[in-house]
Chains A and B, each alone.
Chain A
Amino acid sequence: MNQLEGTIDRIDSKGNLSVVDIQVGGSILTTIVIETPETVSYLRKDLSINVLFKETEVMLAIEKPGRWSVTNQLACTVEKIENGELLSKISLSYEGHPLQCLLLTRVVRDMGLMSGQAVWAMVETTEIMLQA
């Protein structure tokens, strides 16, 4: 599980749902949770929180995506690639923090991914969990 520490920047709640913006380094990550500031103590502006997302849910792009529905975009550097027969593990660095991503080996080959390369890592809003 990828884990980054951030600070809650904004919370928009309606009913039992909240859209939460978290400042993580120089980027904002957004998630949606079935909690509100009334139901849990960790949903407070300026509170420090861990952002969790699975390695299998990370998408990579070589150029910065333009008008994409996935707004969670982190500028990363490829540190290491471990090729399996079907799946490859890509170790990334986001502002010095390690992240991992699992991609099909054939996709890694087709994209021409190499260590040292600059990439954009993306995560869907619905794939991010919060941990206080």
Chain B
Amino acid sequence: MITFDLQKNLGDFELNVRFELGEGDFLTLHGPSGAGKTSILRMMAGLLKPGHGFIEVGNECWYDSAKSIWKKPQERSVGMVFQDYALFPTMTVRENLAFALPKKGDHRILDELTEIMELGGLEHRKPSQLSGGQQQRVALARALAKKPQLLLLDEPLAALDQGMRLRVQDYLLDVHRRYGLTTLLVSHDMGEVFRLSNRVLTLEKGRILRQGSPSEVFTHKNLSGKFQFTGHVVHLKQEDTIQIVSVLIDNHVIKVVATPEEVRGFAVGDKVIVASKAFNPMIRKID
């Protein structure tokens, strides 16, 4: 169990969040820029000191304003990955990973991570010789080398193209399950939120607006249709008496038949919800 109660004046607003995370939870912090998401991550990592509150991780106290406890980043069992990979440019992949290992750390974890993240063959390369996706896999492996109790991810995949993003998400899901991690992710990508996290906090100006599972927070709970997705309109075309609307959902484009009245005022780029009953879609196993 990880409990945090964080309060701090962030200039424009007062950050005030209290939340409990269970072991194995994958929590996404979601909300507009400047809502306080990265500040929360930095406070959890020990890089930014809150004004008041506490952070408890298992039986350990990382921060308690009442008892003047403030653990330094290196005293906390956290792994961090940011959008910019922040790898040491002069070190090879292997050296970057080894640097993160605690002094008496077991080098076998590096071999294991190299295998899981499919970095074999890249170990002796420098970061500049790697693609964005490869660099981010190294950054993730490095964050996991000390087997952290808490993994902090700040838009780690934002700089990657869609295909690479999906592949790195698979790696993330794999290590999250394999190592029983508790993960805190900042993301704006709705597909990513649904794919990775089991819990979501929506923040605005430092306060929790909504919380729950991604479907509780983002789908229209008042609509009974269970085949629900959110996406963006990419194309609208009148065909005979109907409109065919193409919607980008994750990295798939789907088509919806609608009446012209139903989609009046729709424009390319609009965010939409697509819903049908769970009774309608066919499902079939593929190889």
Which has the most chain A C-beta neighbours within 10 Å: B222, B224, B225, B280?
Answer: B224
Choose among B220, B259, B277 the residue that contacts A89 (Cβ–Cβ < 8 A): B259
Answer whether A88 and B224 are a contact pair too, CB < 8 Å, given A102-B259, A129-B275, A129-B277. no
- B202-226 toward A: CB 8 Å interface, digit per residue (1/0)? 0000000000000000001111111
- Among B257, B277, B280, max chain A CB count under 10 A is at B277
Residues of chain A lying within 8 A (CB to CB) of residue B280: 126-127
Q: How many residues of A contact B (CB 8 A)?
A: 28
Return the 10 tightest CB-CB contacts between A and B, nearest first: A84-B241, A84-B240, A126-B279, A132-B222, A130-B224, A33-B224, A89-B241, A129-B225, A87-B240, A87-B241
Across the interface, do B224 and A127 meet the contact criterion of CB distance under 8 Å?
no
**Complex Cα spacing A131 to B242, Å:** 24
Which residues on A sit within 8 Å (CB–CB) of B226?
34
Q: What residues of chain B lie closer than 8 Å to A130, measured between beta carbons?
A: 223-224
Which has the most chain B C-beta neighbours within 10 Å: A55, A100, A126? A55
Q: Cβ of B287: which chain A residues have Cβ within 8 Å of it?
A: none
B278 contacts chain A at the CB level, 8 A cutoff: yes
Chain A nearest CB: distance from B48 CB in Å? 40
A1 to B279, CA, bound (A): 17
List residues of chain B with CB within 8 A of the CB of A87.
240-242
Question: With A1-B262, A35-B224, A129-B223 in contact, do A102 and B279 touch (Cβ < 8 Å)?
Answer: no
Q: A55-B259, A129-B277 are in contact. Are A85 and B223 (CB under 8 A)?
A: no
Q: Is the CB of A34 within 8 A of B278?
A: yes
A127 to B83, CA, bound (A): 44
B221 and A40 within 8 A (CB): yes
Complex alpha-carbon distance, A89 and B268, angstroms = 25
